Chains A and B, each alone.
Chain A
Amino acid sequence: MGCMKQSQEGARVLIEYCAGALDPVQAAEVERHLESCTDCRELAEKQMELWEALDGWKAPQVSADFDARLYARIAREQAAPSWKQWVRRIFEPAAPVVWWKPLASLGVAGAVLAVGLMMHTVPHPAGAPQVHADQVDIEQVAKALDDLDILAPVNPM
């Protein structure tokens, strides 16, 4: 195993090791590496210290009247006119709505359509060479016919 500290993925594994989130096999592998790599050992020690420091920050207890206040809000909302409830459902959805994604898709689709329409309406610039190609073909056919004419008298018929 190379130095884990050198890569972001390696450092991530070290962080998970310090959090105790690795399975026993992975953890043993990291421990073997830490025995031989000073840099990684130092990083792991610092991460462990940080982990313990963060443990010291406890959140306060939830207020005793939390549920009562919530149920009062629910009751108020249910007592509201149905149109208000619908407005809330639209403008305050449970899961956040990512508006820019469908708008971006629509924008890209519109741009593709606009480019397609422009290409369809603008005269094809490749028209001239195409005519030239046709002319070449006609000339070749005419020349071939002339050649046949030249050959005709020689025909033993």
Chain B
Amino acid sequence: MGAEAAQPSVNPGVNKDMEAVAALERDAELMLRVRGGDETSFALLLERHRAPVVHFLYRMVQNQAVSEELAQEVFLRIYRSRANYQPTAKFTTWLFRIATHLALNWIRDGKKEKSQESLNEELLDGVERQVPDRQPTVEQELLHAVRLKEIRRAIEALPEKQRAAVILHKYEELDYAQIARALGCSQSAVKSLLFRAYETLRSRLAHMA
């Protein structure tokens, strides 16, 4: 029995959960230090969350320049409100709540049309960046570009909240409670949003299988 007790946990899920808890505590701790005036902690928070926030916003607005502009606004607002920070909720939930709010506002303001011209150029840029190391044929590149374009269009065509829910769920791996907080709705509403969004996407992208 003693030998059994001494054995480390074999469930990888438990280790993953413990790592997640440690990461959450780390975020709150860093933010509390930022509140105390520690600029280095803000730099660390920025380092940890810069890419997820920009990537989330990029998939929401589908424009790199706009996504970075909005991400800067997210971190600016966090910095601005550092004095009033209370670790009542997960830092990432707060972060994505701000990011979602800014993205939805940007989409609703109709700013998307203004950036449509650059979208096609970006599509090509994105394809170039995503080509694997081994040399693909021209045909493979074109096929990849077409598939990517279809995915982007299918997600773009989703209603705003469904789009945000899918991106937060699929790409940022947030749980239902976190998505609910980010979107300002109930968990059952999130389940419904995701159910309908995935149903639509399965239908629209069925031919790609």
Q: Which of A50, A56, A60, A96 contacts B148 (CB 8 A)?
A: A56
How many chain B residues touch A (Cβ–Cβ < 8 Å)? 51
Which B residues contact A (CB, under 8 angstroms)? 11, 13, 43, 46, 50-51, 54-55, 58-59, 64, 68, 71-72, 75-81, 94, 97-98, 101, 122, 125-126, 129-130, 144, 147-148, 151-152, 155, 169-171, 184, 191-192, 194-195, 198, 201-202, 205-206, 208-209
Contact A53-B151, Cβ < 8 Å, known A60-B126, A69-B72, A94-B98: yes
Given contacts A9-B191, A60-B125, A95-B94, 7 further A-B contacts (CB under 8 A): A47-B198, A53-B208, A56-B147, A57-B148, A57-B155, A92-B77, A95-B81
Inter-chain contacts of B97 with A (CB < 8 A): 95-96
Q: CA A69 – CA B64 in complex, angstroms?
A: 15
Closest Cβ of chain A to B55, distance in Å, is: 4
Inter-chain contacts of A11 with B (CB < 8 A): 195
How many chain A residues touch B (Cβ–Cβ < 8 Å)? 39
Are B77 and A94 touching (Cβ within 8 A)? yes
Contact A77-B76, Cβ < 8 Å, known A46-B209, A60-B126: yes
Are B54 and A66 touching (Cβ within 8 A)? yes
